[in-house]
A = this chain, B = another copy of it.
């Protein structure tokens, strides 16, 4: 990797002395040409975004690499992954059936694009690495299998055979295996690694249910009890086992207990003990073990990530370094060139801030340790607040500064203004709850709309518009968008009604939802709520990663479910008079709870229905009724399918999801509690002060601002104020790094790239509890 480091720098490392220094200095500045700067920028960019790609260091490969990471090529790949997944909407069983030649052609184009993407990647990475990576092999195999399946399917359906399009379950693999969805792949890998270790707990849990089932068989089989539906109660071991498994999920409590409880209250003891042991203790144990192992693997991944980041930064450092005294450093000019190349979107003033944070003592160069931190520094969202002049003031200064105008502006900025509008929102809520056909209420809606519009206009008058609509001003955006949308919706609705005499239900629904959403604004008036909500918003990227994971798993189950159950259960419309509607078009369901509860629309007849059904199964309640419905239709297949889904999604995925969100929340919330506004400012301080400096803590950002005012850069001379947007993490990686920060102690030696790849979670000595902490 580091063969490309300037030979001179390598030589210089051996030698050291005063007399070489000047020669060395000049030499290095000449050596680093544009190509090497590009290479260093690629390394830094990788470190910033935590990309784990081994790329070749030839100039051509780097150009290809830049293109590969460009938003356009990534966007195209995402687009085709999405198209490939959405094809399920148009294939039999379809929501809107398209002719098979259209879907096949589209799928073929998608596969082609995936192949091109892979080809592009092969130009970047050494062949040896390419063929060692499981994800590339996986993509190639998936493409080939899909092509094969398409050919077989097209040929056989032409000749009239019934064939299963099994390759459709491979589609999520493209979603997982393209480099862009790193988070998703990592989550999958972690779960896969966790599985063998939790098998023991699962066996123990199943053993427990099996033993209880045997006990239930001995206790109840002879009593010849009947369930509420009149079926025999607990007379068959497998049925008991299924029922008790369902009871673990609490879905059939207390119904499953009632027949025995009616005979004697003593039998309820059996069920209570069962629930305590299996639902509360075993499921908790299960969650603990699953999450414990998951975290172990995740920590290993994060450690790899951090090492990789440091390694890449060191590679970049080695390219750009210059000998200064006895140590190697990077000079400010080169540092600025590099940052300009890595993050061209950062304004020069912000770059200057970063430089000041890095070079805290204004020495004109940064050392290796400080340089490594650049990757983290680039990830901090610093908002540059310029004291801008209001456009109205610019155009009509006299009018804007008149007494009346100043009075209005004072009113708008007053607390009372906010309270007034809070009161209006509350009154509005009552009106929304009222009956729409009452003319008073529909008139009031216009008044409220006007009031909200006036509020926004007044605020735009009082505050500088660009500051008002800054990216960090979530609530201003929210307000304005909701109000404008509601205004448009109401106008459209009124127009339609007055012209055609009827109102469009869809438009009306949207207008209603927008009106209600407006009420949420009231939260912003309470500091505590705002903190909570900000914390939640910060967790969204993390939650989306897991949501992606769950969607992928849903997709696989939906495809399998559609192939297995399509058309078995039918829905005849809400008010169908067809007698078959009573039993969902399948005589096997006559008299079943499934049909009685009107669950006919919960079927696998297209991918939308399938997804909704799978969501219902994830929520768990009544899943046994849904499962039993399908069991009546397809027997064992359904039982296996539903139980596997429950184990995979509810027990493993959702458990990990909830546990992870909780842990992330603890990290977030503890930060939020201690110092919401100053957290990232502190980060800058501490990043800048860690090992390189020992300046006492203080408002560094403020200090810097004053410093910057004195520099020559004219752009900086204008009054600048830096504010950290909020403690928002740009990436999930940052959050992860944060979570394990304390346990990932800095180590002197950062392993090489090959060593990093082979790290295993067992390399860690588990943290021993210290027994001597109580003196």
Contact = CB atoms under 8 A, between A and B. Distances in A.
Interface of A: 200-201, 203-204, 207, 211, 214-215, 217-219, 222, 228, 237, 250-255, 257-259, 261-263, 265, 268, 272, 275, 279-281, 284-285, 287-289, 292, 306, 310, 369, 372-373, 376, 429, 432-433, 436, 509, 512-513, 515-517, 519-520, 523, 528-529, 532-533, 536, 543, 571, 573-574, 596-599, 601-602, 608-609, 612, 615-616, 619-622, 657-658, 661-662, 665-667, 669-671, 673-674, 682-683, 686-687, 689-691, 737-738, 741-742, 744-746, 766-775
Given A292-B666, A609-B265, A532 B200 contact: yes
A287 B376 contact: no
A254 B529 contact: no
Contacts of A519: 211, 214
B512 A218 contact: yes
A536 B690 contact: no
B279 A619 contact: yes
Nearest to A509: B219
Contacts of A658: 280, 284
Contact of A691 (B222, B771, B775): B775
Nearest to A691: B775
B622 A253 contact: yes
A275 B204 contact: no
Indicate the member of A251, A284, A596, A737 with the most B CB atoms within 10 Å.
A284
Main secondary structure of the interface of A (DSSP, over half): helix
User: Which 8 residue pairs are nearest across A and B when measured between Cβ atoms?
Assistant: A690-B772, A218-B512, A746-B775, A686-B771, A288-B665, A262-B574, A254-B616, A253-B621
Indicate the member of A254, A432, A608 with the most B CB atoms within 10 Å.
A254
B262 A598 contact: yes
* Copies of the chain in the assembly: 2
Given A228-B596, A265-B609, A292-B670, 12 more contacts: A201-B532, A218-B512, A250-B621, A253-B616, A254-B602, A255-B622, A261-B601, A670-B769, A686-B770, A691-B772, A691-B775, A746-B774
A219 B512 contact: yes
Given A214-B432, A284-B662, A621-B254, A574 B674 contact: no
A252 to B, nearest CB: 7
A693 to B, nearest CB: 11
B771 A665 contact: no
B674 A766 contact: yes
A691 B516 CA distance: 64
A233 to B, nearest CB: 11
